[in-house]
Amino acid sequence: MNIRTAKRWFLWHKWTSLICTIFMLMLCITGLPLIFHEELDRLLEKQVVAEVPEGARKMSLDSLAILAGKQYPAEKIRYIFWDNDDKSKVIFDLAAKPDAPPEGSRYATLNAYTGAVLGKPTTDGIMDIILKIHMNMFLGIGGKLFLGLMGILFVIAIVSGVVLYGRIMKKYDFGMVRKYKSNRLKWLDTHNLIGIVTLTWASVVGLTGVINTLSDVIVALWQQGQLKEMVAPYANQQPLTGTLSSLDSAMATARKAAPHMEPGIVTYPGTMFSSKHHYAVFMRGNTALTSRLLMPALIDAKTGTLTDARTMPWYVNTLFLSEPLHFGDYGGMPLKIIWALFDLGTIIVLITGLYLWFARRRAASQQWSRLTEKAVYEDEE
For residue range 127-149, list pLDDT tens digits in order.
888 999 999 999 989 999 999 99
Note if the pTM is more than 0.75. Answer: yes
- Residue 245 resides in a domain: yes
Out of 111-115, 170-174, 274-278, least confident range: 170-174
Q: What is the pLDDT of residue 379?
A: 44
Q: Among 78, 104, 124, which residue terminates a domain?
A: 124
pLDDT for 333:
87
87 occurs within a structural domain: yes
Whether residue 370 is contained in a domain is answered as no
Please indicate, yes or no, if residue 183 is contained in any of the structural domains: no
Domain boundary (76, 92, 124) is at 124
Long-range (24+ apart) CB contacts under 8 A made by 72-78 are 72/106, 72/108, 75/106, 76/268, 77/268, 78/267, 78/268, 78/270, 78/271
Q: Domain end: 124, 140, 170, which one?
A: 124
Total structural domains within the chain: 2
**Residue 243 forms part of a structural domain:** yes
Assess whether 119 and 225 both reside in one domain: no
Instruction: Tell me, yes or no, whether 240 lies in a domain.
Output: yes
- Tell me the helix, strand and coil percentages in the chain, rounded to 5: 60, 10, 30
Instruction: Give the model's pLDDT for residue 290.
Output: 81
Three-state secondary-structure class, residue 24: helix
pLDDT tens per residue, range 41-88: 778 776 677 778 888 889 999 999 999 999 999 999 999 998 777 778
CA distances from 116 to 61, 83, 276 (A): 13, 15, 31
Any idea which of 172-186, 284-298, 300-314, 318-332 has the lowest mean pLDDT? Answer: 172-186
Residues 338-370: tens digit of each pLDDT: 999 999 999 999 999 888 888 877 766 555 455
**Residue ranges making up the domain that contains 58:** 46-124
Indicate whether 252 belongs to any domain: yes
**Does residue 129 lie within any of the structural domains?**
no
Sheet strands side by side (includes 106-111): 117-119, 106-111, 89-95, 76-82, 262-267, 278-284, 294-300, 306-309
pLDDT tier, 175 (very low <50, low <70, confident <90, very high otherwise):
low
